[in-house]
Amino acid sequence: MNRKLNLLISCLLIVLISCKKENDVSPADAQFLKAVWVKGASEIQLDNASGVILITLPESYTSDIVYLDLDLAAGATLEANPSSKRIGFYFKGAYPKPFVIERKNGDQTSTDLYTVYVEHTGKLSAVITSDMLLYPGQEDYGITYIKFNSGIGTVPGNPESTKVPMPTLTGSESSIYIPGRYDVGLSYLSFKNASPLFYSKNITLSLSYGEKKFQFAEKPQIKRAPLSASISSIDMLFRALPKDKKIGIAGGFFLPNLKYQIKAENDFMENALWLKANYLNNYSLDFEIPSQMADGIYLLTFYEDDTPIKSINCTVTNDSTQTGIGQIWTEEMDCPTEVIFDNPKRITLKKGDIFYVNPHPLEFQSQYNPLDKYKTLPNLELKTGSEISILTPIVRADWCFGDHSVFVYYGEYKIPQTLPQGKYEARLIYPNSGPSFPYPYLLEVQ
């Protein structure tokens, strides 16, 4: 009995010793990475069991990049660059750096993931690298890009750290204090609802990182992001703008003390018509088209004071059966809907030239169904005085619209060699509804 008990105890001890040995020497320790060197580092810690590499850099380390020289185990290579034993990366205010080591054993390949964390012991220091731009919205945002000089490594600096850079904006004359956040991936500071500081001339920008504090020497001046203005794509592309109804304009950053208006024009008017736009908030305006404005297609240009923001073509009518021309362009493109809707230009063509026209309302079809190469598209009528020429289309399709979910059909047309020179009205001739409104610009044929 005692002999059996002793044998059982011996077996248990062997199992326990085996388990301890397996925990003490991990496969990564034996098979992948033996040591790491970093020139200029004050401390390096390698934990093969967790795959964590901790690097501490002194204040004297001024480079933006840290290089790791790796002592790889026999047969091990870097997955991303098998011929190299060195890894380098920008570390200041950046994410920790992951990398994979692989080792082949016959037909089998084993891998291990390592992550490099860096801490910099110097004083916190940074510089502003861009203007602070104000973006519109119910919660507007001020955004500026920065570059760290010292005092910060990766974020986080080790697996347990919860420290993140914390920026603040302060307007000294208004006593406004706005906390912000730091985007690790893109290296910018963002501040929600920063518009109260838009007119401030004495803004202070500061940063904290754990116990470290830093105040930028520069006094940032908040500027508006590039101004934009647009009508909803449903109104612009799929239906006409109505008269005597509120029409929304989205964009911004709009200001309540500035004047907003829309210039409506085409080549069939003696004088352009100016429409007042009403300020609603920093990201929206609205306006009305008066009932006395003639039905047709207009070039609408949005203005802030005397500065044009953007121009678009729009069909104006209360008659839902009326059709128009959306855009006309001359450059062959796979994805014209990515560029053709804004700021249309006058078109000058020569005999034999090819050009493209999309109808209004837009002709589209789900990409779940096959492309219809024989789809019926309207002919194009070119008219000057008594001279009329009818051009037939070749069916073309844009496959990029709606995040590549729909085909948008448009026509390819060619100027006949026999067409006389001149300026022509352009209309689409629909089989069931007749001619569309003329394009707002006359087409010049040379």
Q: Quote the number of domains for the chain.
A: 4
Using alpha carbons only, what angle is made at residue 58 by residues 53 and 60, rounded to the nearest 5 degrees? Answer: 135
**Cβ pair 132, 186 in contact under 8 A:** no
- CATH number of the domain enclosing 296: 2.60.40.10
User: Picking from 60-69, 148-157, 432-441, which range would have the lowest pLDDT averaged per residue?
Assistant: 432-441
Q: Which domain holds residue 403?
A: 324-445
DSSP H or E run through 212? strand 212-215
CATH no. for residue 183? 2.60.40
Across 95-102, average pLDDT: 97
Q: Rounded CA gap, 114 and 48, in Å?
A: 8
Residue 48 binned pLDDT confidence (cut-offs 50, 70, 90): very high
pTM greater than the 0.85 cutoff: no
What's the whole-number average pLDDT of the chain? 91
- Rounded to whole angstroms, how far apart are CA atoms 61 and 73? 29
11 domain-assigned: no
Spacing of C-alpha 162 from chain mean position? 29
Residue 89 corresponds to which tokens in the numbers above? 């990366």
Which amino acid does the sequence have at 417? Q
Q: What span, in angstroms and rounded, lies between the C-alpha atoms of 202 and 237?
A: 45
172 shares its domain with 261: no
* Backbone phi and psi for residue 9, each to the nearest 5 degrees, phi listed first: -65, -40
Residue 366 lies in a domain: yes
Chain segment 253-310, per-residue pLDDT in tens: 999 999 999 999 999 999 999 999 999 999 999 999 999 999 999 999 999 999 999 9
Residue 219 sits in the same domain as residue 266: no
- Buried b / exposed e along 171-200 (16+ C-beta atoms within 10 A): beeeeeebebebebeebbbbbeebbebbeb
Query: In which band, very low, low, confident or very high, does the pLDDT at 106 lie, cut at 50, 70 and 90?
Result: confident
pLDDT, tens digit (0-9, with 9 covering 90-100), for 119-145: 999 999 999 999 999 999 999 999 999
114 and 132 housed in the same domain? no
